[in-house]
Chains A and B, each alone.
Chain A
């Protein structure tokens, strides 16, 4: 079984990571944005992001800036894949956790 096909272990923290993406499915969010909305610590947030990305729920890319010109490192931006969005919606429906998010 490929990595993408493996079931993703769901936890309250995982749902908190997914929630801001489902509110605005086309948004690209950095780790700092997710942390602000979900209130998760870095030690919890990043393992979840990497796990969901490995499972194909997220795709990510570097922010398109010149770090030297901006004077700061590039942010890594995450976005839900269509498949990830569908699966996240399924999960939220099952948990009755979702709050009026379009599928």
Chain B
């Protein structure tokens, strides 16, 4: 059963239940009349909306009873019979209310029929509004596997003193040749360590430039100057 059949089935059931809730004298008439009206509607959704409206119609008809309820019709009263209101208000309109024997057949159970009807209407409303709620905004999300967790690379503190003395993690480097060896060895590591360069404020720029050039020549890619606020005297 597709959704259209389901909607039509629901509409037919709603109309039948609404007609049953109408005053007994016009219940059958309204059922057939509403079904005939629903058939002429263009879509299952409009038929379902119409069926829901029938519930409201019944509520209003019951409220305006007995006037409207006096309009009688049934299959027994065949075509071409002109239906007019019965002015005789003495005619019992609602057998449930006016039946003298009704008091003897009082039901003490809770009447759950209206509750079920309300629940059915709410359920259908929820189903109809669900496509609106699930409407999604298309967003271009990153493709491919998520990036691997980043591992902080080791840090090498490279101090350059005022006289050009270079310290590798606090150890004095004897020559530029030794410094080059250190750089070369570190450049092969994965991940490559970061060089934190901390030149003394009095050292000649020439020394610093040579150290930078040496690091670059030996393949080190992560070289940075540490903030001047942390410079050593």
A-side residues, CB < 8 A to B, are 2-6, 30-32, 35, 41-47, 50-51, 53-56, 59-64, 72-76
Contacts and interface: CB of A to CB of B under 8 A. Distances in A.
What 7 pairs between A and B have smallest CB-CB spacing? A43-B56, A42-B53, A2-B87, A50-B68, A47-B60, A54-B85, A43-B53
B81 interface: yes
Interface string B66-85: 11111101000011111111
Interface in B29-69: 29-30, 32-37, 39-41, 50, 52-57, 59-61, 64, 66-69
B87 to A, nearest CB: 3
A62 B71 contact: no
22 contacts: A3-B86, A4-B84, A4-B85, A5-B87, A30-B36, A32-B36, A42-B56, A43-B56, A43-B59, A50-B68, A51-B68, A53-B68, A53-B71, A53-B85, A60-B83, A61-B83, A63-B79, A64-B80, A72-B39, A73-B33, A76-B29, A76-B32
Contacts of A43: 52-57, 59-60
Given A54-B69, A62-B73, 16 more contacts: A3-B66, A31-B34, A32-B41, A42-B34, A42-B53, A47-B60, A50-B61, A51-B67, A54-B85, A59-B84, A61-B83, A63-B79, A74-B32, A74-B79, A76-B29, A76-B32
A41 B53 contact: yes
B127 interface: no
Main secondary structure of the interface of B (DSSP, over half): helix
A66 to B, nearest CB: 10
Contact of A46 (B32, B52, B57, B86): B57
A84 to B, nearest CB: 11
B89 interface: yes
Interface of B: 26, 29-30, 32-37, 39-41, 50, 52-57, 59-61, 64, 66-71, 73, 78-87, 89
B2 to A, nearest CB: 21
Main secondary structure of the interface of A (DSSP, over half): mixed
B78 A62 contact: yes
A55 B80 CA distance: 19
Contact of B57 (A42, A73, A74, A75): A42
A2 B202 CA distance: 116
A100 B8 CA distance: 41
Contacts of A61: 79-83
Given A54-B70, A60-B83, A61-B80, A47 B64 contact: yes
